[in-house]
């Protein structure tokens, strides 16, 4: 029923070597090629000097950012808009100028709208002026003057 198959050691070694070569060709070589292709995108290792320069550049960028934020605050304060300092987020001087102009216009419009506007304001006539001074002669004089007009 079952037949025994016997191989010599040489045949066995040859079969293993063939299987290994086939696996290397089909599986291993494409992976190595893909890895080699991806290695070009790996960031290069920085030397100590390059790391120090990079750190200084980052520090300088942070200082520039802080300085610009202070410039923004002082520009807003100069125009009486320091209450908006936490809200205003700009990237450059041109944007800052536009925002300051817009906010100044809005604040001025709000001041005008909320300003005091008397409803019953009318000009005071001569009779009322004399009445406020309690000058009866002037009051009678204006009444008589109005009669003869």
In tens, the pLDDT along 88-108 reads 888 888 998 999 999 999 989
pLDDT of 27 strictly over 80: yes
Number of domains in the chain: 2
CB-based contact 72:96 (threshold 8 Å) = yes
Q: Is the pLDDT of residue 16 over 60?
A: yes
**Residue 76: inside a domain:** yes
Domain of 104 in residue numbering reads as 61-114
For residue 54, is it within any domain? no
Give yes or no for a contact between 88 and 73, defined as CB atoms under 8 angstroms apart: no
SS3 state at 8: coil
Identify which of 100, 45, 113, 43 has the alpha carbon closest to the alpha carbon of residue 73: 100
What is the SS3 assignment for 107? helix
30 and 68 share a domain?
A: no
In a domain, 97, yes or no: yes
pLDDT of residue 67: 93
The answer on pLDDT for 1 being more than 70 is no
Residue 76 CB neighbours (<10 A): 21
Residue 11 has pLDDT above 90, yes or no: no
What's the mean per-residue pLDDT of the chain? 87
Q: How far, in whole angstroms, is CA 29 from its chain's centroid?
A: 49
**How much is the average pLDDT of 31-54?**
86
């Amino acid at each position: 029923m079952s037949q025994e198959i016997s191989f010599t050691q040489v045949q066995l070694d040859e079969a293993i070597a063939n299987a290994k070569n086939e696996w290397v060709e089909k599986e291993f070589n494409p992976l190595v090629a893909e890895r080699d292709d991806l290695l070009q995108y790996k960031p290069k290792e920085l030397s100590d000097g390059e790391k120090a320069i990079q750190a200084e550049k980052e520090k300088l960028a942070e200082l520039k950012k802080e300085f610009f934020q202070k410039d923004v605050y002082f520009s807003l304060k100069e125009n009486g808009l320091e209450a908006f300092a936490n809200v205003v987020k700009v990237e450059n001087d041109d944007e800052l100028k536009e925002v300051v102009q817009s906010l100044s216009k809005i604040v001025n419009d709000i001041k005008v709208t909320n300003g005091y506007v008397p409803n019953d304001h009318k000009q005071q006539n001569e009779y009322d002026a004399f009445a406020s001074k309690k000058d009866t002669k002037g009051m009678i004089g204006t009444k008589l003057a109005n009669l003869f007009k």
